[in-house]
Structure 1
Amino acid sequence: MANDRVFAIKFAKVYPMYVQKAERKNRTKEEVDRIICWLTGYSPAQLQQIDQETDFRTFFANAPALHPNSALIKGVVCGVRVEDIEDPLMRKIRYLDKLIDELARGKAMDKILRQ
Structure 2
Amino acid sequence: MTKPKIYTMSFAKVYPLYIAKAERKGRTKAEVDTIICWLTGYSPEELQEQVDKQTDVETFFAEAPELPSRNLIKGVICGVRVEDIEEETMKNIRYMDKLIDELAKGKKMEKILRDSS
TM-score (norm 1): 0.93
Partner-residue secondary structure (3-state), 2:4: helix
Contact 1:60 1:89 in 2 (8 A): yes
- Aligned pairs for 1:2-13 (under 5 A) are 3-13=3-13
Give the length in aligned residue pairs: 114
- Aligned pairs for 1:66-105 (under 5 A) are 66-67=67-68, 69-105=69-105
The corresponding residue for 2:112 is 112
- Aligned pairs for 1:13-52 (under 5 A) are 13-50=13-50, 51-52=52-53
> RMSD across aligned C-alpha pairs, in angstroms?
1.2
Please tell me the residue identity of whatever aligns with 1:34.
T
Gaps of 5+ in 2: none
Deviations 1:84-110 (A, max 9, x none): 101011101100000000000000001
Measured in 1, the distance between the counterparts of 2:100 and 2:41 equals 16
Measured in 1, the distance between the counterparts of 2:45 and 2:12 equals 15
Measured in 2, the distance between the counterparts of 1:97 and 1:3 equals 19
Partner-residue secondary structure (3-state), 1:49: helix
The corresponding residue for 2:62 is 61
Contact 1:74 1:82 in 2 (8 A): yes
Deviations 1:62-103 (A, max 9, x none): 110002x21111111111111110101110110000000000
Offset at 1:6? 2.0
Please tell me the residue identity of whatever aligns with 1:20.
A
Please tell me the residue identity of whatever aligns with 1:39.
L
Please tell me the residue identity of whatever aligns with 1:92.
N
Question: Percent of counterpart pairs with the same letter?
Answer: 65
Please tell me the residue identity of whatever aligns with 2:102.
E
